[in-house]
Amino acid sequence: MLTLLGVAAVVVGFAVRLNPLLVVVIAAFVTGLAAGMTPVEVLEAFGKAFNENRFVTVAYLVLPVAGVVERAGLQERARSLIGRFRQVSVGPLLILYLAFRQITSALGLTSIAGQTQSIRPMVAPMAEGAVETRTGPLDAATRQDVRAMAAGTDNIGLFFGEDIFIAIGSILLMVGFLASSGITLDPIQLSVWAIPTAIVAFVIHGARLVLFDRRTRRRTAG
């Protein structure tokens, strides 16, 4: 039961608002020491876990890179770039990104874009720039709405696109669950049935983006 002290360390750490990474490390050491492991053995366990799951943890290397390019003015560059194309509005721009996100996710490239990699540094500023080019400076509420719609577009593209890829975790989970219930299916069978759903999601959200474009123009014009 002493190993459950690690859970208590997590609760206390987050309650006092400590750094999340520090909380996780402390909880790991508390659990390891309570289980009779030496500090060196706990570190070895950390290293083994990182090595075996490096395809997941390597994604966090994107965070400092995104911070550096933002500080170098990437958002401003993206906003000024889209401002040169006065015929581009926020609706078609986000619809194009939605198509890109769904197609790449369907091919298994789920980490090629995302909130950190593309939305915050590039897509959201470009969407803001597309609106500003037509309507002038944005008020705070409209700016937040544009950013939220850009973020939502990424989520929808990823969610409904990734299930088309046969090796994604959700597909394999469903295959395993059905197999445990005596229903044998190939992953490709579930992936094929995810295609109509992805198409419908694209059409519905595309319509929402068109309406959002019109609503934004009316709001800023008023």
3-state secondary structure the chain: CHHHHHHHHHHHHHHCCCCHHHHHHHHHHHHHHHCCCCHHHHHHHHHHHHHHCHHHHHHHHHHHHHHHHHHCCHHHHHHHHHHCCCCCCHHHHHHHHHHHHHHHHHCCCCCCCCHHHHHHHHHHHHHHHHHHHHHCCCCHHHHHHHHHHHHHHHHHHHHHHHCCCCCCHHHHHHHHHHHHCCCCCCHHHHHHHHHHHHHHHHHHHHHHHHHHHHHHHHHHHC
**Which residue ranges make up each domain of the chain?**
2-52, 86-221
Per-residue pLDDT of the chain (222 residues), as tens digits, is: 666 777 888 888 888 888 777 887 888 888 888 888 888 888 777 777 666 555 445 555 555 655 655 555 656 666 666 666 667 788 999 999 999 999 999 988 888 888 877 888 888 888 888 888 777 788 888 889 999 999 999 999 999 998 888 877 777 777 888 888 888 888 888 888 889 999 999 999 999 999 999 888 776 555
In whole angstroms, what is the distance from residue 31 CA to residue 98 CA?
A: 43
In whole angstroms, what is the distance from residue 29 CA to residue 42 CA?
A: 6
pLDDT of residue 195: 92
Q: How many residues are present in the chain?
A: 222
In whole angstroms, what is the distance from residue 210 CA to residue 191 CA?
A: 29
In whole angstroms, what is the distance from residue 72 CA to residue 74 CA?
A: 6
Distances in Å between the alpha carbon of 106 and those of 122, 137, 157, 200? 22, 37, 9, 15
